[in-house]
């Protein structure tokens, strides 16, 4: 099977490449941004026609949530039009498409863990563009897997690394304690994506690790495991205003996985422990 990974230099792209390299019979095509800019429709068509993948896994995205507020055109190009180009090019050669999406398609006001059947209502440019990406992929290729994740960390820039770096220069730190979600390792997400493709289990899926916490609780756990003695205290979102409004409660329930192939993700505590050790 031939797999094309776009945005191959990102956190998820790297992890998928690592896991696929261990699987026999996989022909991997790793496309970084400089190899394939997904926003360029002509390049996407010629690349896909030449490479003839069976599956395209789109790991490319404009993931800087706050920047998206002021870079709206760029965000629509990368998060909505790029996925459309890939879905459509894949469809022309009968290939499947995996589009990775986000908990930010929800407003986070329901105060219950969200399933694939709950109503979406994005509140940020990032969330809106990612939702349009989902819709365009669905419309342009029936063989789609749309996988929503959250609070992702792996090989790249992420919250975990930021906190550890900040601890080196700070004796005390305040971290937001009124936003809840689920930290998710790229290892768990990649395993699930590979399984969905193996099973040809098309559709929309939530995929985060199990459990929930606030950013404050997550930071406390990171520092506990690493033995970091920087003092962490809880604060409110209002104390740290950001350009993009964050959902208050965006815990995803992997309901479609539970109902179909089974949920093979770990608890967020198990996953972060392995990552840091
Ligand atoms: N990170 C999170 O917390 C989080 C949470 C929920 C959902 N997600 C979703 O999960 C997926 C993977 O996220 P991630 O954390 O692995 O992202 P990431 O580390 O930011 O990687 C994204 C990659 O996309 C590339 N890219 C940007 N524009 C491109 C373009 N026009 N053409 C081709 N490549 C382009 C970037 O290239 P450069 O390095 O050259 O910029 C980067 O390598 C994304 O769909 C994201 O929306 C992430």
Query: Where along the chain do its domains lie?
Result: 2-158+182-212+251-268
Residues acting as catalytic residues: 126
Distance 153 CA to ligand 1 centre (A): 12
* Dihedral Cα 142, 144, 150, 151, nearest 10 deg: -140
Please work out whether the CB of residue 151 comes within 6 Å of at least one atom of ligand 1: yes
Distance 269 CA to ligand 1 centre (A): 24
Which 8-state DSSP code applies to residue 120? P
Please work out whether the CB of residue 12 comes within 6 Å of at least one atom of ligand 1: yes
Which two tokens mark 24?
A: 């026999």
Distance, in Å, from the CA atom of 139 to the CA atom of 237, rounded to the nearest integer, reads 37
Provide the 3-class DSSP secondary structure of residue 152: strand
Asked whether 78 and 61 are in contact (CB, 8 A), the reply is yes
- The predicted structure's pLDDT at residue 111: 87
Q: Averaged in consecutive runs of 10 residues, what is the pLDDT profile of the chain (277 residues)?
A: 98 98 97 98 98 98 97 98 98 98 96 96 98 98 98 97 97 96 98 98 98 98 97 94 91 98 97 97
Residues whose CB falls within 8 Å of the CB of residue 248, separated by 6 or more in sequence, listed in order: 108, 109, 111, 178, 179, 180, 237
- The predicted structure's pLDDT at residue 49: 98
- What are residue 252's DSSP bridge partners? 114
Distance 9 CA to ligand 1 centre (A): 8
Provide the 3-class DSSP secondary structure of residue 277: coil
Instruction: Please tell us whether the domain made up of 2-158+182-212+251-268 is placed in CATH 3.40.50.720.
Output: yes
**Quick count: other Cβ atoms within 10 Å of Cβ 230?**
17
Please work out whether the CB of residue 150 comes within 6 Å of at least one atom of ligand 1: yes
Nearest Cα to Cα of residue 79 among 124, 113, 34:
124
Please work out whether the CB of residue 137 comes within 6 Å of at least one atom of ligand 1: no
């Amino acid at each position: 099977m031939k797999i094309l990974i776009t945005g191959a230099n990102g956190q998820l792209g790297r992890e998928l490449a690592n896991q696929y390299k261990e699987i026999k019979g996989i022909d991997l095509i790793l496309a970084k941004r400089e190899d394939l800019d997904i926003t360029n429709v002509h390049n996407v068509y010629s690349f896909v026609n030449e490479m003839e993948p069976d599956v395209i896994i789109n790991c490319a995205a404009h993931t800087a949530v706050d920047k998206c507020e002021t870079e709206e055109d760029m965000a629509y190009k990368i998060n909505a039009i790029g996925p459309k180009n890939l879905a459509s090019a894949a469809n022309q050669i009968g290939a499947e498409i995996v589009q990775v999406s986000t908990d930010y398609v929800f407003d986070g006001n329901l105060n219950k863990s969200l399933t694939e059947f709950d109503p979406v209502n994005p509140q940020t440019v990032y969330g809106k563009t990612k939702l349009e990406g989902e819709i365009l992929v669905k419309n342009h290729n029936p063989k789609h897997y749309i996988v929503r994740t959250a609070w992702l960390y792996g090989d790249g820039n992420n919250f975990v690394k930021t906190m550890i770096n900040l601890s080196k220069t700070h004796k005390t730190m305040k971290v937001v304690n009124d936003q809840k979600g689920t930290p998710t390792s790229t290892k768990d997400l990649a395993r699930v994506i590979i399984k969905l493709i193996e099973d040809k289990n098309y559709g929309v899926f939530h995929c985060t690790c199990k459990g929930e916490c606030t950013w404050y609780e997550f930071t406390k756990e990171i520092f506990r495991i690493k033995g970091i003695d920087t003092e962490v205290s809880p604060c409110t979102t209002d104390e740290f205003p950001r350009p993009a409004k964050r959902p208050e409660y965006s815990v995803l329930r992997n309901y479609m996985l539970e109902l179909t192939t089974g949920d093979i993700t770990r608890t967020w505590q198990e996953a972060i422990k392995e990552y840091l050790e």
